[in-house]
Chains A and B, each alone.
Chain A
Amino acid sequence: MSALLALVKKELLQLKRDPKLVPLLVLAPVFQLVILGYAATTDITQVELAVCDLDRTPARRRLLDTFTASRSFRLVRSLDSLDEAEALLARGRARLVLTIPAGFGARVAQGSAGTVQVLADGADAASGGIGLAYAVAALQHFSAGQGTRTAVELRPRVLYNPELLSRHYMVPGVLALILMVMTMMLTAMALVKEREVGTMEQLLVTPFAPAQILAGKLIPTTLVAGVQILTALPVALLWFRVPMHGSFLALAVLTVPFLLCTLGLGLLVSTLSRTQQQAMMLSALVFMLPQIYLSGFIFPIQNMPAVFQAVTYLVPLRYYVTILRGVFLKGVGLSVLWRQGATLLLMAVAILTVALLRFRRRLG
């Protein structure tokens, strides 16, 4: 036990000795969280709207008000002719051009159907599409104000995230990402560095058992990850006000199998690479990028082709992101998330077995 403590102490001392690494380790998570929390918003607001009004009657005033009443649109330009509309879209000055034809007001006053044209910039399909949906909703709203109602009304109720804030969806995912990056990369780097510099041999001739050497590497990285989460969690909860509907205990319990997975992956990477450079390339491109893209963290899994959906089942982050969002937003616990937890545990066992076998072989 004291031998293990000595190894852990040696490892922490080594971390401390690289003066640029410590601030990187402490500040990177908070920095990532702040940037992601603010920037990773898919809430489309302030869609740039240009209006080409060929009518100039009071009816269009009311129509425009329904558009600008919400924060969804920002009026950037009023045009006199349609010719300018194309140029505006081409330069990206406007995303949506609303054209009110001559005679619109007269027709609306008569009670017959007025038609307006909505021209959208499809180059940015996300904000273009959402802008279009908003425009259609605004037109319906306008029609309703005119006294037109449909027989069936839709009464929506949004669960878990009633204001539809993307921040509440993204921030728990970021926590998972930080945890993964740090534990996997640090583990891989610490082990490969030892081998690259040649000190692994020296460690092996000491009376430490290989298992102790390994634990001596894994415990400090877990500690660092723990510190990182403890600094990032308050930022998520207090600064970004992400709701925490579930229990911290459930969160902690379900985090353990995920940590085992990432530590195992780090170990695996270290056995697959000879230099630090290779280790970083491997962990960044082969293990990290797929996890970011194929975990449902940003891109919904259900939108992917079936083949890629099948691949996502192999991505540990997929399960952990589900766990985090479940605990934070839905407030569910082990009774619902045990499946994800069990899957992670199985994956951890598999990854660790392969990694340990390879590790032993490389030692011998």
Chain B
Amino acid sequence: MIRRTLAIAVKEFLHLRRDWRTSLALLGMPMVLLLIYGFALSFDVHHIRLAVVDRDGSRASRDLLASFLSSGYFDLTDFRRDLSHLPHAFDSGEIQAALVIPSDLGAALAAGRQTSVQFLLDGSDSLTATTILGTARQIVAATSPPLVLDTAPVQARVLVAYNPDLLSSRFLVPGLLAFILMVTSVIATALAVVREKERGTVESLRATPVLAVELLLGKTLPYLLVAATAAAGSLTLAWALFDVPIRGSLLWLAGVTLLFLAGGLAWGVLISTLADSQQVAFQVGLLSSMLPTLLLSGFIFPISSMPKAIQVVTHLVPARYFLVALRSIVLKGTGPSGWWVQAVALAVFAGVVLALATARTVRSL
């Protein structure tokens, strides 16, 4: 069995070598994508376009404005004394937030009265808006003197574990890695079997003594090699360029990554055995790898915030498990006690999918 599996693997490998463009794409694409998107993507909010309407013009209002600008979150795009232009500026997207300082701010502070400033905010992008609102609250709370002195406010001493600066790249890059590896590994094998079907060479395979399971394993092996190389390259890139620390053991990292890749490749093989044409195989492969990994893995959108029904569905997405394990190993340096459930889930996924593909091939052979 091993001999026949290897024979298929060698044959597939020769295909890969002859089609060097595809092989190069499979090898290089993950790194190129990581390079581009690792730099481009971020949830760290900066350069919020802020308009200020200062009706006071006192020292207090200037101080407040200065603390907004020195926070590093806001760019002053517009400074005026009246409100009339604000609606249009919001509509056209010229500004995202506006701070309206009332004419009595300086007087009220001098007299020890309480007063308020208005903060208008474009809420369309809710994540950015929530962050801006939190920042504005903190700035105002920090600059404003306490009004009643008999009780002091509760102070928070904040510690952030694993990622003290809360850099979004540290958590986005592992997610991006999972996304890229999933898409490339599914696409790599999705066409492998269906190509033989389309060209009719599956008939000649049928005439050989190769078993379905040998055929599928042999088809997967070369791609596993290619994908593993690409994964190693991408991980190195993430570590070298994007400050993603690798705190855990490399051995565990390699093991979990291989399990994940095996699952992705197996999924591609399953699609390949189900589809009749390369076009359908590619569409299904792309949609079924790209969208769930992008949306349902916790890469960008936190799973705990999703409705229960969708949370159940996320259990079918291998990237979900890989991401937990990857972030644990890379960012937290945890050993298997922290993520063995995820590793088992990945292994089960790969096994079940490959079994399904085999069953399907047995019938069609």
Binding site for B on A (CB under 8 A): 18, 20-21, 24, 28, 32, 35-36, 38-48, 63, 74, 86, 89-92, 108, 111-130, 132-137, 139-140, 142-143, 146-162, 164-166, 168-169, 185, 189, 193, 276-277, 280-281, 284-285, 289-290, 292-294, 298-300, 302-305, 308, 322, 325-326, 329-330, 332, 336
| CB proximity of B196 to chain A, nearest CB, Å | 14
| CB-CB under 8 A for A303 and B158, given A43-B305, A128-B166 | no
Complex Cα spacing A36 to B115, Å: 43
Whether the Cβ atoms of A142 and B154 lie closer than 8 Å is: yes
Whether the Cβ atoms of B154 and A122 lie closer than 8 Å is: no
| CB-CB under 8 A for A151 and B108, given A39-B301, A41-B305 | yes
Interface residue? B163 (CB, 8 A): yes
By a CB distance below 8 angstroms, the chain A residues around B171 are 122-126
In the complex, which of the residues B33, B40, B282, B307 contacts A308, with contact meaning CB atoms closer than 8 Å? Answer: B40
| CB-CB under 8 A for A159 and B121, given A39-B296, A126-B171, A303-B44 | yes
Complex Cα spacing A147 to B152, Å: 9
Whether the Cβ atoms of A160 and B122 lie closer than 8 Å is: yes
Complex Cα spacing A123 to B161, Å: 8
In the complex, which of the residues B118, B124, B280, B314 contacts A330, with contact meaning CB atoms closer than 8 Å? Answer: B124
| CB-CB under 8 A for A161 and B124, given A155-B119, A281-B25, A298-B300 | yes
Interface positions of B from 100 to 159, Cβ below 8 Å from A: 105, 108-109, 112-131, 133-138, 140-141, 143-148, 150-159
Complex Cα spacing A44 to B304, Å: 8
Whether the Cβ atoms of B40 and A304 lie closer than 8 Å is: yes
| CB proximity of A190 to chain B, nearest CB, Å | 10
In the complex, which of the residues B91, B115, B166, B287 contacts A332, with contact meaning CB atoms closer than 8 Å? Answer: B91
| CB proximity of A79 to chain B, nearest CB, Å | 15
By a CB distance below 8 angstroms, the chain A residues around B310 are 35, 38-39
The number of residues on chain B lying at the interface, defined by a beta carbon within 8 Å of a beta carbon of chain A, is 120
Whether the Cβ atoms of A44 and B302 lie closer than 8 Å is: yes
| CB-CB under 8 A for A35 and B46, given A122-B164, A150-B145 | no
Whether the Cβ atoms of B155 and A36 lie closer than 8 Å is: no
| CB-CB under 8 A for A148 and B151, given A115-B156, A304-B40, A330-B91 | yes
Complex Cα spacing A155 to B119, Å: 6
Complex Cα spacing A32 to B295, Å: 10
In the complex, which of the residues B92, B146, B187 contacts A149, with contact meaning CB atoms closer than 8 Å? Answer: B146
In the complex, which of the residues A48, A150, A277, A290 contacts B140, with contact meaning CB atoms closer than 8 Å? Answer: A150
By a CB distance below 8 angstroms, the chain A residues around B22 are 277
| CB-CB under 8 A for A329 and B64, given A123-B332, A143-B153, A155-B116 | no
Whether the Cβ atoms of B134 and A126 lie closer than 8 Å is: no
Instruction: Please give me the residue from chain A that is nearest to B191 by CB atom.
Output: A277
| CB proximity of A349 to chain B, nearest CB, Å | 24
**Residue among B88, B91, B125 facing the most chain A CB atoms (10 A cut-off):** B125
| CB proximity of B197 to chain A, nearest CB, Å | 14
Partner-contacting stretch, out of B259-267, B323-331, B348-356: B323-331
| CB-CB under 8 A for A152 and B115, given A122-B166, A142-B154, A298-B300 | yes
Whether the Cβ atoms of A305 and B41 lie closer than 8 Å is: no
Whether the Cβ atoms of A125 and B302 lie closer than 8 Å is: no
Interface positions of B from 40 to 84, Cβ below 8 Å from A: 40-49, 64
| CB-CB under 8 A for A139 and B302, given A20-B275, A152-B115, A155-B116 | no
| CB proximity of B95 to chain A, nearest CB, Å | 11
The 5 closest A-B pairs by CB, nearest first: A122-B163, A133-B134, A161-B123, A113-B152, A143-B153
By a CB distance below 8 angstroms, the chain A residues around B157 are 115-118
Whether the Cβ atoms of A300 and B117 lie closer than 8 Å is: no
Instruction: Please give me the residue from chain A that is nearest to B169 by CB atom.
Output: A125
Supplied contacts A28-B287, A293-B37, A336-B88, 15 more A-B pairs, CB within 8 Å: A35-B296, A38-B310, A39-B314, A47-B304, A112-B152, A118-B156, A130-B134, A132-B166, A146-B153, A152-B116, A160-B123, A293-B41, A300-B125, A308-B39, A329-B124
In the complex, which of the residues B153, B279, B337 contacts A140, with contact meaning CB atoms closer than 8 Å? Answer: B153
Interface positions of B from 239 to 296, Cβ below 8 Å from A: 275-280, 282-284, 286-287, 290-292, 294-296
Complex Cα spacing A127 to B306, Å: 13
Whether the Cβ atoms of A36 and B295 lie closer than 8 Å is: yes
Interface residue? B160 (CB, 8 A): yes
By a CB distance below 8 angstroms, the chain B residues around A149 are 114, 146-148
Whether the Cβ atoms of A39 and B306 lie closer than 8 Å is: yes
In the complex, which of the residues A92, A115, A130 contacts B328, with contact meaning CB atoms closer than 8 Å? Answer: A92
Whether the Cβ atoms of A151 and B109 lie closer than 8 Å is: yes
Instruction: Please give me the residue from chain A that is nearest to B127 by CB atom.
Output: A42
Whether the Cβ atoms of B140 and A123 lie closer than 8 Å is: no
By a CB distance below 8 angstroms, the chain B residues around A114 are 154-155
By a CB distance below 8 angstroms, the chain B residues around A139 are 153-156
Whether the Cβ atoms of B117 and A155 lie closer than 8 Å is: yes
By a CB distance below 8 angstroms, the chain B residues around A162 are 123
Whether the Cβ atoms of B133 and A156 lie closer than 8 Å is: yes
Complex Cα spacing A308 to B39, Å: 8
| CB-CB under 8 A for A159 and B118, given A126-B127, A299-B43 | no
Interface residue? B23 (CB, 8 A): no
By a CB distance below 8 angstroms, the chain A residues around B6 are none
Whether the Cβ atoms of A168 and B29 lie closer than 8 Å is: no
| CB-CB under 8 A for A125 and B168, given A146-B154, A298-B300 | yes
Whether the Cβ atoms of A42 and B158 lie closer than 8 Å is: no
In the complex, which of the residues A40, A122, A137 contacts B162, with contact meaning CB atoms closer than 8 Å? Answer: A122
Whether the Cβ atoms of B291 and A125 lie closer than 8 Å is: no
| CB proximity of B298 to chain A, nearest CB, Å | 8
Complex Cα spacing A143 to B144, Å: 15
By a CB distance below 8 angstroms, the chain A residues around B114 are 149, 151-153
Whether the Cβ atoms of A90 and B40 lie closer than 8 Å is: no
Complex Cα spacing A174 to B224, Å: 33
Complex Cα spacing A122 to B163, Å: 5
| CB-CB under 8 A for A38 and B280, given A148-B146, A150-B140 | no
By a CB distance below 8 angstroms, the chain B residues around A303 are 41-47
Q: Can you name 20 A-B pairs with beta carbons within 8 Å?
A: A18-B279, A42-B127, A42-B302, A92-B324, A112-B152, A114-B154, A116-B154, A116-B156, A119-B161, A120-B158, A120-B160, A124-B298, A129-B131, A149-B114, A149-B146, A151-B145, A153-B115, A155-B119, A160-B122, A299-B42
| CB proximity of B71 to chain A, nearest CB, Å | 14
Instruction: Please give me the residue from chain B that is nearest to A141 by CB atom.
Output: B154
Q: Report B332-352 CB contacts with A as 1/0, cut-off 8 Å.
A: 101001100000000000000
Interface residue? B365 (CB, 8 A): no
By a CB distance below 8 angstroms, the chain A residues around B42 are 299, 303-304
By a CB distance below 8 angstroms, the chain A residues around B362 are none
